[in-house]
Amino acid sequence: MTNTLTRSIILVTLEQAKRDCILVAAAKAFAQRGFRKASVDEIAKSAGVAKGTVYLACESKEDLFYQAVHREIREWTANAARLIDPRKPADELLLSVAVASLEDVGRRPLVRELLEGKHSELLPQWMPQFEELRILGRKNVVEILELGIAQGRFRGDLDVNEVATLLQDINMSTLIFQRYRTDFDFPRRLRAGIDLVLNGLRLPNQKGTIPSL
């Protein structure tokens, strides 16, 4: 009993390590050479295994790609989540986590390419799954927002998910348009954007909803 348990744990551990190794190699290859040009054999060799072993970790090349992306994004999100210290002021977290996330994504070419809309030939079919990953990333923002409300710093009358989506979009834009602009100081841009969202554009005495439309 204990033996089989130990064994299965060891097995899972070994399998998981190899699995990770394969997915990392896949992520690197797909990012460097694109989905089509990266070959499964090349990925296998880069991971130090034979091709057959790769197919113990995935169903198909598409599945491999998706798993590699999924893993990168989960790691990315988890890194960000680790920064959310509930003792810190939520408004400060909003900025520091965003900056860290964008820096992190710079080190993840595969994620970055996806967010920037490369691999667009594959995107349509996978959009549902990627939307799922977006929701994953949004959970961090929602957490910070709810923290801010609990801290009495943020308004409680807003739809937290709505606001989170908007902030996520701002971060995306910052990321996407960054590459097209010269002399682009993205922490500064982020700071300006989040500062604006925090304090609002209206003069204090003018607060209220938009009059009409």
Partner DNA sequence: AAAATGACCAAAAAACCCGTTTGGTCATTC
Partner DNA sequence: GAATGACCAAACGGGTTTTTTGGTCATTTT
Residues at the site binding a second copy, with contacts judged by CB under 8 A: 89, 91-92, 95-96, 99, 116-118, 120, 127, 130-131, 145, 148, 152-155, 158-159, 162-163, 165-166, 169-170, 172-174, 177, 180-181, 189, 191-204, 206-213
63 is written with which tokens?
A: 């599945």
Q: Which of 21, 55, 118, 126 binds DNA (CB under 7 A)?
A: 55
Half-sphere exposure of 77 (CA within 13 A, CB side): 19
Q: Which residue's entry shows tokens 């197919």?
A: 55
In the list 21, 24, 46, 49, the residue contacting DNA (rule: CB under 7 A) is: 49
Residue 53 sits in the site that holds DNA (CB under 7 A): yes
In the complex, least distance from residue 2 CB atom to DNA, rounded to whole angstroms: 18
Residue 115's closest CA among 134, 93, 95?
134
All residues at 6 or more sequence positions from 45 whose CB lies less than 8 Å from its CB, including other chains: none
Pick one of 39, 120, 173, 199: the residue that binds DNA (CB under 7 A). 39
C-alpha closest to that of 91 among 173, 199, 166, 175:
199
We find the least distance from the C-beta atom of residue 152 to a second copy, in angstroms, to be 7
